[in-house]
Amino acid sequence: MNKPSRISKKSAWQATVKVHHLFPFSKMAQDSVGFSSDYQFWMQKLSVWDQASTLETQQDTCLHLPRFQEFLRQMYEVLKEMDSNTIIERFPTIGQLLAKTCWNPFILAFDESQKILIWCLCCLINKEPQNSEESKLNSWTRGLLSHILSAFRFDTKEVGLFTQGLEFTPADYYPGLLKNMVLSLVSELREYHLNGFNTQRRIVPEKIRLLSRICIPLVTLPDIEPLVEALLTYHGHEPQEVLWPEFFDAVNEAFLLKKISLPESAVVCLWLRHLPSLEKATLHLFEKLISSGRNFLRRIECFLKDSLLPEAACHPAIFRVVDETFRYALLETNGAPEVIAAIQVFTGCFVEALEKKNKQLKFTFKTYFPYGSPSLVMVLLQHPKEIPQELWHQPLKHISEMLREIVEDQTHRSYGGPFECWFLFIHFGGWADIAAEQLVMSEAEPPEALLWLLAFSYSPRDRSLQRAQTMAEVKAVLIRLKKLLGSPSLSAEDLQAAAAESRDRDPRPPLCQQLIRRLLLNFLLWTPRAHVIAREVLTLMAPTDELTHEMTGFLDQTLYRWDHLRMEATGPRKLARELLAELRPAGSAV
């Protein structure tokens, strides 16, 4: 069964991603009715919310914060074109609307709403009031602005007198007070955490729930970050989740947009406690990987490390979710090389993180890869760096045999079918690349195990007959290529002929052809004599855009692997770099 063409790979993946809504508040509802009806709608809402002192009003306010901010922006655009009198004519109740907004601290605390509100209020100020009405309006507006900005408001008059007596402004007092209030709340949360049941002052679940609601509009305010962190890492003794779900949403979104910086432990808590956040984070990463440009594994690695997902994945629960998403993407895109590359880089980062945490977390590998046989997993996890290069054929052979056993065993499906096997294997796809190199580099006859491994990795769905044919083709090409090494002169045409398919046979399946192209490129890199004709060979292959894309991917992947394995390979490296630079479109270098 031939695989369908992969032209629409990218759009398929994008479709996958769009199925999950990333940001529920991203766009204002498509309102065709106009600004006036919005105005009525929000006026009503504000009246119901009042000062947002009950649970229901707080919850409802928080749900509407981004949309209301959009409305404020629109309103400002309308108001700034008018003068004060026109505004009152056109919107007689605007004073009410703005006042109610001022008195709702949730709205003022959110993002830029306070700034936009101030802009709107500024529009109401009359430069030269002509009568007492206009004067009164001015006075009233100034009062509101003072309420938001410059007035000292205190529980007791004495505090006001003290602060002003020392010549401090609200700009000195409030940031300091906020910092101290946050510190006090954090220590309340931590104290419970440390002392469990024994502490006298136990913070009640109600208060924690309330705090999580209060923090929703504030998550992007840097001063609040310690409190957010303390809430996320708070572990009470209540059976169900005590934090408000919208709180998790707000924190997650702020984290993904880099509007808050949290330590890894807090982010892990967030994702462990709230699955939708983890899913959003994974999809957000995928979107980034798609749009980041093609075949830059270093860049992919940066994105991955940046996202904190590899570290978080040291918790098997998180790993499973991310892995499932990768699996889904892989199936939807029919094994797109971009997805495979992302899986490999992810696994690499994950293993690295796991090694660093070795002292703290101890889960068996079975928890991460329940679909793979544990012994296979152990072998795959070996790092080639730890094995001398000349001995690499041993683990390769071992892997091949184990995989083959599972794949060809029709009766016992204890570890899933060929797809599960293959999915596990491509996490550690570096082994396939090493196999390809070994085949090209060694003098001896190509070992069956390696041939099988390569054929399987490129075309997992083949039946035995097809696989055997692929293996035979590959073997034939390798023998032809190596024979050429014996001849005194090496020409591009010779090489191309050696790799070409024979005319009297069925045309090669595309994946088999791809594998052979891969081997040819390997051959070029590892045969010093072939370096001079490398470009000619490539030209003869008549690369289309897609083929160029494929070769760029291969070269990038190879260089990335050599860096990670710290392989010297100066000659091949130089050629690979040069070819990569030439193949890549101008201006897209890393």
Partner 1 sequence: MESLVEHLQRFSELLAVSRTTHVSTWDPATVRRALQWARYLRHVHRRFGRHVRIRRALERRLQNQWGQEGASGSAPVPGLTNFQALGRGDLLLSLRLLENRALGDPDYHYLLRQLFPGPGVPDPDEEALQGSLARLARCRSAVQLLRFSGPGEKSALEDPVLKTQAELLLGRLREVPKAEAEGPSRFLSTLWDRLPQNNFLKVLAAALLLPPSSPRPQGEELEPGTPQTPGDGAQELVRWLLEKSDVLAAFCRSLPVGLLTSVAGRHPALCRAYLGLLTDWGRRLHYDLPKGTWVGAEPQHVSWEELYGRFQSLCRAPPPLKDEVLTALEACKAQDGDLQVPGVSIWTDLLLALGSGS
Binding mask 105-124 for partner 1 (x = CB under 8 A): xx-xx--x-xx--xx--x--
> Pick from 459, 476, 579: which is nearest to 521 by CA?
579
Residue number, 142 or 549, with CB nearest to partner 1: 142
Q: Which of 14, 85, 126, 469 binds partner 1 (CB under 8 A)?
A: 126
Distance in Å, CB of 228 to partner 1, minimum: 12
Rg of the chain in Å (alpha carbons): 32
- The reply to whether 96 sits near partner 1 by the rule CB under 8 A is no
Burial class of 529 by CB neighbour count within 10 A (0 to 12, 13 to 18, 19+): exposed
DSSP symbols for 33-88: S-HHHHHHHHHHHHHHHTT--SHHHHHHHHHHHHHHHHHHHHHHHHHTTS-HHHHH
> How far separated are the first and last CA of the chain, in Å rounded?
38
Q: Which of 15, 19, 171, 378 binds partner 1 (CB under 8 A)?
A: 171
Query: Helical H runs in 459-587?
Result: 464-486, 492-499, 510-526, 534-540, 545-565, 570-583
Residue number, 201 or 505, with CB nearest to partner 1: 201
List the interface residues with partner 1, window 385-404 (CB under 8 A). Answer: none
Residue identified by tokens 């079975």 is 366
For 365, the token pair is 């590998």
Q: Which of 184, 195, 364, 539 binds partner 1 (CB under 8 A)?
A: 184
Element (H, E) at 217: none
- The reply to whether 251 sits near partner 1 by the rule CB under 8 A is no
- The reply to whether 76 sits near partner 1 by the rule CB under 8 A is yes
Helix count (H) and strand count (E) of the chain? 31, 0
Residue identified by tokens 């406690």 is 273
CB distance 385 to 351 below 8 Å: no
Q: Which of 95, 129, 226, 416 binds partner 1 (CB under 8 A)?
A: 129
CB distance 402 to 431 below 8 Å: no
Task: Count residues binding partner 1 (CB under 8 A).
Answer: 68
Q: How far apart are CA 268 and CA 266, in angstroms?
A: 5
Residue number, 215 or 396, with CB nearest to partner 1: 215
Residue number, 40 or 187, with CB nearest to partner 1: 187
List the interface residues with partner 1, window 5-64 (CB under 8 A). Answer: 53
Q: How far apart are CA 493 and CA 499, in angstroms?
A: 10
Binding mask 195-234 for partner 1 (x = CB under 8 A): ------x-----x--xx--x--xx--x-xx----------
Distance in Å, CB of 111 to partner 1, minimum: 9
Which of the stretches 176-184, 235-243, 336-344, 376-384 binds partner 1 when contact is defined by CB under 8 A?
176-184
List the interface residues with partner 1, window 461-500 (CB under 8 A). Answer: none
Q: Which of 140, 174, 328, 363 binds partner 1 (CB under 8 A)?
A: 174
- The reply to whether 132 sits near partner 1 by the rule CB under 8 A is no
Distance in Å, CB of 104 to partner 1, minimum: 9
For 254, the token pair is 């702020």
Distance in Å, CB of 210 to partner 1, minimum: 5
Residue number, 143 or 507, with CB nearest to partner 1: 143
CB distance 129 to 137 below 8 Å: yes
CB distance 455 to 474 below 8 Å: yes
Q: How far apart are CA 480 and CA 494, in angstroms?
A: 10
Residue number, 160 or 543, with CB nearest to partner 1: 160
Residue number, 146 or 539, with CB nearest to partner 1: 146
- The reply to whether 163 sits near partner 1 by the rule CB under 8 A is yes
Q: Which residues bind partner 1 (CB under 8 A)?
A: 53, 76, 80, 105-106, 108-109, 112, 114-115, 118-119, 122, 125-129, 135, 138, 142, 145-146, 148-151, 153, 155-159, 161-163, 165-178, 180-185, 187-188, 201, 207, 210-211, 214, 217-218, 221, 223-224
